[in-house]
Amino acid sequence: ETGVTQTPRHLVMGMTNKKSLKCEQHLGHNAMYWYKQSAKKPLELMFVYSLEERVENNSVPSRFSPECPNSSHLFLHLHTLQPEDSALYLCASSQGGNTGYEQYFGPGTRLTVT
Amino acid sequence: GENVEQHPSTLSVQEGDSAVIKCTYSDSASNYFPWYKQELGKRPQLIIDIRSNVGEKKDQRIAVTLNKTAKHFSLHITETQPEDSAVYFCAAKNSGYALNFGKGTSLLVTP
């Protein structure tokens, strides 16, 4: 698959579980993003990585832990989540971080916390 | 921080009519304004964008206008078709990394 891919597409986890979301971009971009999309709320930026360095962290609880081992891969490690963390988690990438380049989104991971 | 307001939250039009969605932003330093379309169960996709040095941009049936003084920008879709039905998001960005999104407009085009 080309573009931005995410796995898994659906995830159900208990509050005591630990899981990870994976994102991979095949576009040669150097910036990657995690967004949270909840019903009736705007897309919320969680983290930004530019050239594998975290450059933005929007007051996200520590139960979400990002990792960017290289410019093509981005992970979101999850532990002791709360039911209100249930949402669609979208990964995106762009050619440049702080310039006006199009962000390409992945299909998302639908997360349900029970 | 930047605050983006988007109206209306839902919009229903008949096929062939025009649809207009409006957004306002608070940060006068914002200089990039994309619009994304998200169909049900799919990822958001960029449909058009505009930068602060341009007042209007058009791409076939879609146009965006920007009023920097008033800090608002609008999406115009002409000759709407059922496949235009989706949720549309506006966003604003300054020199930082974040795209600040509006809450979205659910557009329904009825045949």
Give me the percent of chain A exceeding a pLDDT of 70: 96
Q: Which residues of B28-59 are buried (b: 16+ CB within 10 A; e: fewer)?
A: eebbbbbbbbbeeeebbeebbbbebeeeeeee
Give residue A98's pLDDT band: very low, low, confident or very high (50, 70, 90).
low
Answer whether residue A100 shows pLDDT above 90: no
Give the distance, in angstroms, between the CA of residue B65 and the centroid of all CA atoms in the same chain.
Answer: 10
Q: Among residues A93, A108, A98, which one has the least CA distance to residue A28?
A: A93
> In chain A, what residues touch B34 (CB-CB under 8 Å)?
102-103
Answer whether residue A57 shows pLDDT above 90: no
Average pLDDT over residues A92-109: 85
Asked if B23 is an interface residue toward chain A (Cβ–Cβ < 8 A), one would say no
Give residue A42's pLDDT band: very low, low, confident or very high (50, 70, 90).
confident
What pLDDT tens digit does each residue of chain B (111 aa) get? 789 999 999 999 999 999 999 999 999 999 999 999 999 989 999 999 999 888 999 999 999 999 999 999 999 999 999 999 999 999 999 888 888 999 999 999 999
Strand runs (DSSP E) across chain B, as ranges? 4-7, 10-14, 19-25, 32-38, 45-51, 56-59, 62-67, 72-77, 86-92, 100-101, 105-110
For A82, half-sphere exposure in the C-beta direction (CA atoms, 13 angstrom radius) is 4
Contact criterion met (CB < 8 Å) for B43 and A31: no
Give the distance, in angstroms, between the CA of residue A114 and the centroid of all CA atoms in the same chain.
Answer: 20
* Angle (nearest 5°) at CA B102 between A78 and A44: 10
Give the distance, in angstroms, between the CA of residue A18 and the centroid of all CA atoms in the same chain.
Answer: 16
Task: Say if residues A76 and A54 touch (Cβ distance below 8 Å).
Answer: no
In this prediction, residue A99 carries a pLDDT of: 67
Which of A6, A30, A41, A43 to mutate to test binding with chain B, by most B CBs within 10 Å of its CB? A43
More confident: A40 or A24: A24
> In chain A, what residues touch B36 (CB-CB under 8 Å)?
105
Answer whether residue A1 shows pLDDT above 60: no
